[in-house]
Structures are given as C-alpha cells and as structure tokens.
C-alpha cells in the first residue's frame, strides 16, 4: 500500500463536504448520495488499511514531504484503525437514518456530517498535538450544530451549554500545548513522548491538569457533563446515536493516546517536592464519583433519552475508571466495555425511538404496551440492555468481570473500585429493568396500533444486534482484537519508532 493513501480518509470527506453543499442546492438527492457514498468509501478503504496494518505494522504518512518531527504526519496504528472501522459503521447507520427522512436542510446537514466524519478521522490519525486541537475544534463545532438541528428549546439550550464548556476546554488544551512547546520545542506527539520525562515535576502536573480539563466535557465526566440533560432529549435520533456511540468514544481515544501512550501514565504517579498530588488517586476519585452521580441521575430521570444519556455517561466513566488502574487487565476490561458501549448505546437509542413513536411524551410511560405496538424493536431494546449491563458472554460481561477480579487481586484502592462496580451494575439493572417491565404492561384504555417501522431503522437495528451476537459467540475473535489493541496502547517505544523512523530521533 502507498503510505500516503491514509490521508484520503480525511481529504475525501472534506472535499465532498463542500460539493454536497453546492450540488445539494440543485437537487437534495445529490447530498444524500454523496453522504452515503463517502461513508461507504471510508469503510472499504479503512478495512484495506486495517489489513495492511495487520501485515506490515504501523503506517506513517508524511504531509508535505517534511519529515517528522518537523512536519505534520499521520500515524495509523492497530487501535486507531480498529476504532475507525467501528466508527465508520456507526456513522453509516446514523447517515442511513438521516437520509431516510425528508429534511429541507439535507444539503447543509450532510455537509456538517461529512466535516464531522473528517474531524474524528483526523483526531484518531494525527501525530501532531496542535493538529489534534484543530480536528477537535472542528469536531466540537460539528457536534454543536448537530445538537441544535431540531431547533427546539432543549436543543438550543443543550448546544449552548456544550459550546460554553468545550470553549473552556479548548482554552485549557491550548495552555497545555503552549507549555509543552515552550519546554520541549516540538508539537510532534512521538517526540513529546520521547522527551516527556525531561519536563520538571511541577510542569508535568500543570500539563496533566490542562489536558485532563480540556476533554472532560466530551468524556461526559461529572461535573462537566451538565449539557447532557438537554442535549440528548433535544437532539434528533441519529444525533443521539452519534453522541452516545461515537463522540464520547472519540474523546476516550484522545484520553488513551495522550495519557497512556504519550505521557506514560501510570508511571507518573509518585509524590514529588512534598506535593500532595498523585495522578492515580485523582483519576480514580474523579471517575469513580462520576459513575455514581451519573447512575443516580439516570435513576431519578423520567425522560427516556435523558436516562440513556446519563447511562452513557456512567458507562464512559466506568471505562475511564478501568483505564485509571494503569494495569494491563484494567485496560483490557476498558476496551471490552468500550466495544459494548459503541454497539449497545446506539441500539438502545434507535430502539427506544421506535418504541415511543407516536407518543408526545417521551417519558418512561411511553414504553407501556410497547411490546404489542412494536415487538421487533422491543426485542432489540432488550438485547441492547442485556449487552450493556453485562449479560453472560457479552463483551460487557467479560469487561466487568475482569475489572472486578483484577480489583480483588492486583489493584490498590480495591474496596473503592469494587463498591463502585457493584453499585453501578445494581443501579443500572434497576432502571433498565424498570423500562423493560413497562414494555409488557398492557394499556387496556387504548387500542393497540402496530408501529410502522422505517426500513433504515430495521436494517440498522438488526445489524447492531447481529454485531452484538457475533462478538458474544466469537470470544476468541474478540480476545484477539482486544489484546492487540492493548499491546498497541502500551507499546510506547513502537509508537515513537513508527513516527520518527523517517527522520532522526531528536533526543534533546
């Protein structure tokens, strides 16, 4: 494979984003065709690159013929391309649902969706810390626009909240980038990783705090997730699918790449200069508290989308808690839980939308008699619930079991982690089984009308359910993916060599 080709995964969506806007002004069908076609191209091309990475290892793409660390580069690793293929599939589902609707703004929305596609691809592939910021900004702006599409009070309110918190995060990210550039004189992620130990302890603390604060909103971590209560209920269904299964996981990838691969967490966890600062303690406290608060928020909510939104935030915090252990088993558990969230959360939003179809109130009572109205999506909803809470054989089951077992054997803060995991599972079971119970309660006052299901929803729901079944009945396949991804995360030296192999490693 030509090592310059991965750039097409970013360039093609950007190019067609403008073409979609231009051609769509003549005929809306052009915008729909462009959106679906570009998504399919990225899926097929992404699989091709995945096979190349399996055979030849990491792929380095040099932009403008300026060799790293002086020029901008893209680096395709196993975990980045694996995540991208899952993201592209999910994006295809969201695009299919969007194009099945008749929206007068289809040309404009398609253009935004393609920029969204290009931005999260850039985030996963870039090898430059400032370009990561640029792609994050495009990504955040796209999210803000997508949340506000419904043009209702909740959607506008949610998008404004998201705008405020991500703007603060962007400022913190720039402060952190400025600190690194001022000290090391480089923006290349690999060279930063190579020389990060040369930074003084106090500067490291500031850099950690700046970068952690910059992505807390996208990670849906309490108390930076106040935008959830309005954004999820106020958004279109395909936007809910993107927010829960894609946007938050992109932020999770940023956390993994920056803190585990580049900054070398958990090696930087000791006290120094008598300062009472320990990164592991900080992470476990913040993410553990976030799990508890988000689960309680989901339990107390009556709006179904709000329940699913806070549940998504809690699941993400549990993944971050698992990563915070800093050990191999904890990272494996986190990846298993991530796979579960990427597949099950979109299925839950998609299914609940069809179950509540025709009901003005989108609260838990909208689920009453849902099984008789829509048996297919009731079954799909139940499959999604079982997957998320950790039904035996699902990736979530193995992830939570591994986190539980590793906490009893290898991790400090054992009692705290065990209590949080058990609490999360218990509360999650309660509010999800409450929803499932409503599906089978008969409403004798109303005559049952079967819901007409859109083909796009049927195809998407069945595809997600089959994916869940595949990962559940093929444990060795899942194990192979997860172990390779974990090796990639911990292979700091391999990442550095792949990025700097075309030039001299600057060991200043």
Cα 449 to chain centroid, rounded? 36
Q: Is the distance from CB of 60 to CB of 74 less than 8 angstroms?
A: yes
pLDDT at res. 505: 40
Task: Return all residues near 345 (Cβ < 8 A) that are at least 6 apart.
Answer: 241, 244, 245, 308, 312, 315, 384, 388
Q: Burial level of 506, CB count in 10 A (0-12/13-18/19+)?
A: middle
Instruction: Report the alpha-carbon distance of residue 211 to residue 216 in Å, rounded.
Output: 9
pLDDT at res. 270: 46
Residue 186 per-residue DSSP state:
-
Instruction: Report the alpha-carbon distance of residue 304 to residue 287 in Å, rounded.
Output: 24
Tell me if residue 252 falls in helix, strand or coil. helix
pTM: 0.87
Tell me if residue 76 falls in helix, strand or coil. strand
Tell me if residue 502 falls in helix, strand or coil. coil
Instruction: Report the alpha-carbon distance of residue 76 to residue 85 in Å, rounded.
Output: 12
Q: Burial level of 100, CB count in 10 A (0-12/13-18/19+)?
A: middle
Residue that has been written with the tokens 């303690």 in this structure:
281
Tell me if residue 102 falls in helix, strand or coil. coil
Residues paired with 128 in a beta bridge: 188
Residue that has been written with the tokens 């591994």 in this structure:
402
**What distances in angstroms separate CA 450 from CA 45, 196, 205, one per listed residue?**
40, 61, 58
Residue 64: other Cβ atoms inside 10 A: 8
Residue 97: other Cβ atoms inside 10 A: 22
Q: Is the distance from CB of 288 to CB of 417 less than 8 angstroms?
A: yes
Task: Return all residues near 365 (Cβ < 8 A) that are at least 6 apart.
Answer: 438
Instruction: Name which of 231, 266, 265 is nearest 248 in CA terms.
Output: 231
Instruction: Report the alpha-carbon distance of residue 91 to residue 375 in Å, rounded.
Output: 26
Q: Is the distance from CB of 273 to CB of 203 less than 8 angstroms?
A: no
Phi, psi torsion values for 75, nearest 5 degrees: -130, 120
- Show the DSSP H helices in 100-150 as ranges: 106-125, 129-147
Would you give per-residue pLDDT tens digits along the chain (508 residues)? 556 788 889 999 999 988 888 887 788 888 888 999 999 999 999 999 999 888 888 888 887 777 777 778 888 889 999 999 999 999 999 999 988 887 778 888 888 999 999 999 999 998 888 888 999 999 989 888 888 887 678 888 888 888 888 888 888 889 888 888 888 888 888 888 888 878 877 788 888 888 888 888 778 888 887 788 788 888 888 888 888 888 888 888 888 888 887 787 765 544 444 445 567 777 888 888 888 888 888 888 888 888 888 888 888 888 988 888 878 888 888 899 999 889 988 999 988 888 887 676 777 888 887 788 888 888 999 999 988 888 888 888 888 888 877 766 655 566 677 778 788 888 888 888 888 888 888 776 666 667 777 888 899 899 999 999 998 888 888 888 888 888 888 888 888 887 776 544 443 3
Count CA atoms within 13 Å of residue 102 on its CB side. Answer: 0
Quick one: the chain helix, strand, coil %, rounded to 5? Answer: 75, 5, 20
pLDDT at res. 109: 87
pLDDT at res. 148: 86
Cα 360 to chain centroid, rounded? 30
Q: Is the distance from CB of 458 to CB of 376 less than 8 angstroms?
A: yes
pLDDT at res. 444: 67
């Amino acid at each position: 494979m030509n090592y310059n080709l991965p750039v097409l995964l970013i360039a093609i969506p950007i190019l067609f984003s403008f073409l979609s806007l231009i051609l769509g002004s003549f005929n809306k069908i052009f915008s729909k065709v462009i959106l679906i076609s570009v998504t399919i191209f990225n899926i097929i091309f992404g699989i091709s690159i995945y096979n190349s990475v399996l055979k030849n290892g990491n792929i380095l793409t040099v932009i403008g013929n300026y060799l790293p660390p002086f020029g901008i580069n893209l680096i395709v690793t196993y975990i980045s391309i694996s995540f991208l293929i899952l993201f592209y599939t999910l994006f295809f589902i969201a695009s299919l649902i969007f194009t099945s609707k008749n929206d007068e703004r289809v040309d404009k929305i398609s253009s935004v969706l393609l920029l969204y596609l290009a931005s999260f691809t850039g985030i996963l592939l870039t090898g430059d810390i400032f370009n990561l910021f640029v792609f994050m900004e495009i990504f955040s702006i796209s999210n803000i626009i997508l949340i506000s599409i419904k043009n209702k009070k909740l959607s506008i309110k949610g998008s404004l909240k998201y705008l405020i918190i991500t703007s603060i995060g962007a400022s913190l990210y720039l402060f952190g980038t400025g600190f690194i550039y001022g000290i090391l004189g480089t923006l290349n992620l690999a060279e930063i990783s190579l020389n990060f130990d040369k930074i003084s302890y106090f500067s490291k603390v500031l850099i950690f705090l700046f970068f952690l604060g910059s992505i807390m909103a996208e990670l849906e971590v309490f108390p930076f997730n106040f935008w959830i209560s309005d954004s999820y209920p106020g958004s279109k269904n395909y936007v809910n699918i993107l927010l829960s299964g894609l946007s938050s996981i992109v932020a999770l990838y940023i956390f993994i790449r920056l803190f585990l691969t580049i900054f070398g967490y958990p090696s930087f966890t000791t006290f120094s200069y008598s300062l009472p600062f320990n990164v592991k303690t900080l992470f476990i406290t913040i993410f553990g508290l976030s799990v508890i608060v988000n689960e309680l928020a989901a339990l107390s909510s009556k709006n179904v989308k709000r329940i699913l939104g806070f549940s998504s935030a809690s699941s993400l915090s549990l993944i971050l808690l698992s990563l915070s252990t800093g050990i191999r088993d904890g990272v494996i558990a986190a990846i298993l839980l991530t796979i579960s969230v990427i597949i099950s959360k979109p299925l839950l939003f998609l299914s609940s939308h069809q179950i509540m179809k025709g009901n003005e109130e989108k609260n838990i009572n909208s689920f009453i008699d849902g099984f008789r109205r829509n048996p297919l999506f009731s079954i799909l909803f139940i499959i999604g619930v079982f997957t998320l809470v950790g039904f035996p054989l699902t990736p979530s089951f193995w992830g939570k079991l591994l986190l539980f077992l590793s906490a009893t054997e290898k991790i400090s803060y054992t009692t705290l982690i065990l209590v949080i995991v058990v609490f999360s599972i218990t509360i999650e079971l309660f509010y999800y089984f409450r929803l499932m119970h409503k599906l089978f309660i008969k409403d004798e006052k109303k005559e049952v009308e079967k819901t007409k299901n859109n083909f796009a929803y049927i195809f998407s729901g069945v595809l997600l359910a089959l994916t869940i079944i595949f990962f559940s009945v093929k444990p060795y396949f899942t194990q192979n993916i997860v172990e390779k991804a974990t090796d990639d995360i911990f292979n700091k030296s391999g990442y550095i060599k792949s990025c700097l192999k075309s030039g001299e490693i600057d060991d200043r």
